[in-house]
């Protein structure tokens, strides 16, 4: 199962130092076009991870499954609606349309910023609702698909160099943001037993998709650590000298 937790554990138990594929391009950080070069490297690397890289123990990033503990809960069934979102899966992470990457080196910390633009990304998850929705009692568990059109995912990684026989990067802070969504569609497959009501609800909700996105956008912080697992585990096994030309 392509699970972010499994991803991290697999890397952590691999070898002490991973050797990158011979096709991996290194960028010279002394050059003025370093960030452009790095953007190309990240773009091509994600394309490689569209399929599992079995020789290095990396699973595919085309379909990323989040671990069971990645759960978002809001509301209260006593005074409204208790809602639970779980079993997240993200489809399309390895297929960006464009990437802008910047790595700012500092005397103590370095900061890696990546903006990944997509034509479409799909979040699949399970929704559980218990309580009352506009006076209508609700007690349901249903699969949901939420499609984001032209989103931009931003990752900001704060890095610290340390030595363990060679120089490595340690992730000491990680931020994730979803922004610049053109529109979104939401499909609750079995929210209501009445199919017509279910379809019309999805249609009405999708029409208000951008408003719904901004209302719930702050909850993305709940998923941030699981994205950070990928970066942390990868960089802990790759010496800095494997990544850049000095």
Lowest mean pLDDT among 18-22, 42-46, 196-200, 242-246: 18-22
Model pLDDT for residues 28-84, shown as the tens digit of each residue:
988 999 999 999 988 988 888 888 877 666 778 899 999 999 999 999 887 789 999
51/72 Cα distance (integer angstroms): 29
Model pLDDT for residues 141-194, shown as the tens digit of each residue:
999 999 999 999 999 999 999 998 888 999 999 999 998 799 999 999 999 999
The DSSP symbol for 55 reads G
> How buried is 138 (Cβ within 10 angstroms: 0-12 exposed, 13-18 middle, 19+ buried)?
middle
> Nearest to residue 112, comparing CAs of 153, 159, 163, 152?
159
What fold is seen in the domain 4-245? Bactericidal permeability-increasing protein; domain 1 (3.15.10)
> Nearest to residue 91, comparing CAs of 139, 123, 56, 60?
123
pTM for the whole structure:
0.83
DSSP string, 203-226: HHHHHTHHHHHHHHGGGGGGTHHH
Model pLDDT for residues 1-42, shown as the tens digit of each residue:
455 544 454 444 444 455 566 667 889 988 999 999 999 988
């Amino acid at each position: 199962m392509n699970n972010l937790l499994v991803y991290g554990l697999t890397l952590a138990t691999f070898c002490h130092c991973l050797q990158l594929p011979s096709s991996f391009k290194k960028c010279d950080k002394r050059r003025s076009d370093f960030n452009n070069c790095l953007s190309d490297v990240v773009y091509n690397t994600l394309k490689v991870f569209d399929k599992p890289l079995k020789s290095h123990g990396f699973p595919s990033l085309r379909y990323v499954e989040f671990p069971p503990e990645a759960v978002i809960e809001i509301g209260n069934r006593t005074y409204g609606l208790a809602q639970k979102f779980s079993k997240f899966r993200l489809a399309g992470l390895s297929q960006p349309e464009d990437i802008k990457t910047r790595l700012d080196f500092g005397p103590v910390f370095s900061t890696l910023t990546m903006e990944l633009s997509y034509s479409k990304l799909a979040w699949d998850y399970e929704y559980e609702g218990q309580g009352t929705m506009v006076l209508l009692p609700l007690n349901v568990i249903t699969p949901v698909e939420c499609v984001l059109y032209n989103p931009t995912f931003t990752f900001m990684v704060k890095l610290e160099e340390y030595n363990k026989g060679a120089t490595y990067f340690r992730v000491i802070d990680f931020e994730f943001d979803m922004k610049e969504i053109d529109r979104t569609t939401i499909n609750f497959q079995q929210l209501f037993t009445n199919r017509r009501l279910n379809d019309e609800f999805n249609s009405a909700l999708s029409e208000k998709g951008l408003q719904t996105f901004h209302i719930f956008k702050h909850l993305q912080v709940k998923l941030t650590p699981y994205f950070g697992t990928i970066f942390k585990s990868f960089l802990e096994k790759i010496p800095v000298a494997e990544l850049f030309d000095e």
